């Protein structure tokens, strides 16, 4: 996830895998012959496309004056020569850039939008596998309402193949977000127990969750950050007193009410308690159904 703010943000998102279908050149398609030229990737909760939407475009690189791609001044889109022949369909510009750690993916896509890109392919900097990257969700950093173009996250290995092909030839692809065909919907919920809006949402969502039951693959995530024991001593009531002896860290969370009675340590302890409850009680009735915890 790209998160500009560590906590106090909750989002409900369907875990839908976006797809890139390579149309040309054939030399690039052969790198993905096992999937018939199709690349699956992670998608974002900002600038999310409509299900069933398709974007036909050619891949564009940048003349970068820096590696971050975090501001409009850092780069321009590479000029491409020639035209692409299609059957009357408009060919759009799809920017391919690295997703580093200098700023959020949301900011990178928002800047690319101002540069004229119609979609963005972000290359994950880690060495995570294709499957791991497909499960990643790019989160909103607070400015997602300004983003109107879609984006897809691909693995580092896939990104290297795309960049190599772009240096040699014009690469035309189709981006697609098809309606997922499954009896079980996957839901990831990112939140903090100290966030009032998230608590109110869960109260409203409870009846729906009970109806969906095991037809929903629900998974909670908590914004708890770890610091060394020595650093935690200087952070006052933000951190728990309990030490994770394996990593010599303490769990911390932001203070949700300032001068009020609840501390960051209270939030971190509650988050850990709830996460423990989830892991102890969530179960699937069979391989075709999702995890569900009535207790949670």
pLDDT digits (tens, 9 = 90+) for 11-65: 334 445 578 999 999 999 999 999 999 999 888 888 866 666 788 899 999 987 6
pLDDT at position 145 over 70: yes
Q: Pick the residue with more confidence: 152 or 141?
A: 152
Give me the domains of the chain, ranges plus CATH numbers. Answer: 17-177 (3.50.30.30), 185-281 (no CATH)
What is the pLDDT of the chain when averaged over all its residues?
A: 83
Give pLDDT, residue 179: 59
Q: What is the pLDDT of residues 86-104, one digit of tens each?
A: 556 678 899 999 887 678 8
Tell how strand 62-64 and strand 75-77 pair up.
antiparallel
- Strand spans (E) along the chain: 11-14, 18-24, 38-43, 53-60, 62-64, 75-77, 92-98, 119-123, 151-154, 172-177, 185-191, 216-222, 225-228, 249-252
Three-state DSSP at 286 gives coil
Helix, strand, coil share of the chain (percent; to 5): 30, 25, 40
pLDDT at 242 exceeding the cut of 90? no
The mean pLDDT value for 183-187 works out to 79
pLDDT (0 to 100) of residue 13:
41
**Tokens standing for residue 216:** 């929903």
> How confident is residue 84, by pLDDT bands cut at 50, 70 and 90?
low
Opening angle at CA 81, ends 119 and 67, nearest 5: 50
d(Cα 130, Cα 154) in Å, to the nearest integer? 8
In this prediction, what percent of the chain has a pLDDT beyond 70? 86
Query: Which of 172, 140, 205 lies closest to 56, judged by CA?
Result: 172
Phi, psi of 231 (to 5 degrees): -70, -35
Task: Identify which has the larger pLDDT, 48 or 260.
Answer: 260
pTM: predicted TM-score of the whole model, two decimal places: 0.61
How crowded is residue 96: how many other Cβ atoms within 10 Å of its Cβ?
23
pLDDT at 88: 62
Residues in the chain: 296
Displacement of CA 106 from its chain's centroid (Å): 9
CB 74 within 8 A of CB 64: yes
**Residue 51: per-residue pLDDT:** 65
The closest alpha carbon to 59, from 107, 103, 25, belongs to 25
Q: Tell me what pLDDT residue 38 has.
A: 92
With tokens 């969530």, the residue in question is 282
CB 225 within 8 A of CB 232: no
Please determine, for residue 85, whether its predicted confidence score (pLDDT) is greater than 90: no
Residue 160 scores a pLDDT above 70? yes
CA quadruple 204, 6, 18, 129: dihedral positive or negative? Answer: negative
Model pLDDT, residue 65: 65
According to the model, what pLDDT value does residue 185 have? 80
pLDDT tens column, 101-144: 678 889 999 999 999 999 999 999 888 898 888 888 787 887 88
Distance CA 40, CA 135 (A): 10
Instruction: Find the mean pLDDT for residues 152-175.
Output: 93
Above 80 in pLDDT, residue 262?
A: yes
Of 43 and 168, more confident? 168
Question: d(Cα 194, Cα 248) in Å, to the nearest integer?
Answer: 25
Report, in angstroms and rounded to the nearest whole number, the Rg of the chain calculated over CA atoms: 22
Q: Give residue 180's pLDDT.
A: 57
């Amino acid at each position: 996830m790209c998160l500009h703010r560590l906590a106090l943000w909750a989002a409900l998102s369907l875990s839908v895998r976006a797809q890139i279908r390579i149309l040309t050149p054939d030399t690039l398609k052969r790198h993905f012959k096992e999937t018939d030229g199709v690349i699956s990737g992670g998608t974002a909760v900002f600038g999310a496309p409509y299900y069933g939407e398709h974007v036909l475009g050619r891949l564009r690189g940048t003349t970068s004056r820096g590696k971050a791609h975090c501001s409009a001044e850092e780069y321009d889109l590479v000029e491409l020569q020639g035209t692409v022949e299609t059957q009357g369909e408009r060919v759009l510009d799809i920017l391919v850039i690295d997703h580093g750690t200098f700023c959020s993916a949301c900011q990178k896509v928002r800047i690319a939008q101002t540069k004229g890109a119609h979609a963005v392919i972000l290359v994950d900097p880690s060495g995570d596998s294709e499957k791991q990257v497909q499960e990643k969700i790019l989160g909103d950093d607070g400015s997602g309402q300004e983003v109107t173009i879609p984006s897809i996250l691909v693995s580092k290995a896939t990104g290297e193949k795309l960049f190599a092909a772009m240096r040699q030839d014009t690469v035309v692809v189709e981006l697609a977000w098809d309606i997922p065909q499954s009896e079980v919907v996957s839901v990831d919920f990112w939140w903090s127990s100290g966030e009032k809006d998230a608590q109110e949402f869960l109260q409203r969502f409870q009846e729906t969750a009970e109806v969906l039951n095991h037809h929903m693959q629900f998974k909670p995530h908590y914004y708890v950050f770890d610091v060394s024991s020595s650093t935690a001593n200087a952070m006052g009531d933000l951190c728990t007193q309990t030490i994770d002896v394996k990593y010599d860290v303490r769990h911390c969370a932001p203070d949700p009410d300032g001068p009020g009675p609840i501390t960051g340590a209270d939030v971190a302890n509650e988050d850990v308690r709830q996460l423990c409850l989830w892991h102890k009680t969530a179960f699937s009735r069979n391989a075709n159904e999702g995890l569900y915890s009535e207790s949670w």
